[in-house]
Structure formats: structure tokens, C-alpha cells
Structure 1
Amino acid sequence: MRLLVKANVDTERGNEAIRSGKMPEMIKSTLERVKPEAVYFGPMDGHRTMLMVVDLADSSQIPPTLDAFFTDLNAYVEVTPVMNLEELQKGLSQMQ
């Protein structure tokens, strides 16, 4: 199951993580654990934001994948199912 994860970091928590020097390690450990296909960072909706594409074998992986965003950064997290071109073509072929 491929997902687009959008995590908007709480400004106060993000500021604390940056001031304490913990933000780089938090990002590094999250990326090592989650192993996203792609990850991007930038401002969105007035917050520091991370966009990640992850491919999970099972929906039961969603809680451990997202937990650090909630507990460490008090982030607002959106998860959207997405597919690559090959998956889209496979799905469309089943509609005929």
C-alpha cells in the first residue's frame, strides 16, 4: 500500500527541536525507520512540512510509521493512498 504522508509540524515543537539540536536526529531516525521512496521538506499551510511517499506491506504498519510525528513533533498528519503509473495501469485494466 503506497501512501503520501503529509506531516505539518507544530511550530512551537519544531522550534524546540531546532533550538535543542534534536531536529536533524529526529528526521534521520524517522527516515531510517520508514525508508520512504521519496521525501521533501518545505513550508506548507504556514508550517514546516514533510511530504513522504512510503510503500507499506500492510495497514498495520501505519501506527508505528506515523507515531513519531505525533509524539515528538505534535504534527498534523494526513495520509492519502496513491499509486505509481504501473499500479494505475493495472487498476485501469481491471475496469474493462
Structure 2
Amino acid sequence: MANLLPTQIFSLAPEVGKSYYENLAGGVNASVTVNNFSDGPVALVITRVNAPVVTYVIPPVNSLTLSVELLLVAALLTGALPAFGTIQVATSDF
């Protein structure tokens, strides 16, 4: 069964990071979608159970969808420019 969490709108200042999903009770299988509508890139940081932290840079006016096993934390980081867009997480037992 899938749980589609509400779409979250983000507007982050330069050099700011913020967590948008946390499951510290052992992780959950999930799909993470980020839509970057800004003029600068935004980094999606994925932390999983017993795995290295992985960072994906999403270019300006672009999007990324990932399927992640045992997701602990999904966070966004900005660089020298501010960023805005949406992030949505869907959890599942896939």
C-alpha cells in the first residue's frame, strides 16, 4: 500500500539546507520527486539505512524522481542562489 504525502512547497535562501522527510525508525521504501522552478540548482540529499549519503544536483527549471529503499532522510540544500519549487514523498512497501 502506498502513502502519498502532501506536496510541500519550498523556498530556500542561499546556502540553506532543510529536511523535508524523516523516518528514523528504520527507514521506509519511498519515491521522492523534486521540481526545481528556480534559476539556480538545488541539491537533493538522500540518507538510507546502512548506505552512504547520496546527493543529486537538480539543475534550474528541472525535476528528478527517485525510488529509494529504506529511506531515512530526504533534504534539500541550496548553493549560492536561492531555490524554490516542490518536493513530494510517497512511501510504500515495494
- TM exceeds 0.5? no
Which has more helix, going by share of residues?
1
Q: What TM-score do the two structures reach when normalised by structure 1?
A: 0.40
Instruction: Please state which structure has a larger fraction of its residues in strand.
Output: 2
Higher alpha-carbon Rg: 1
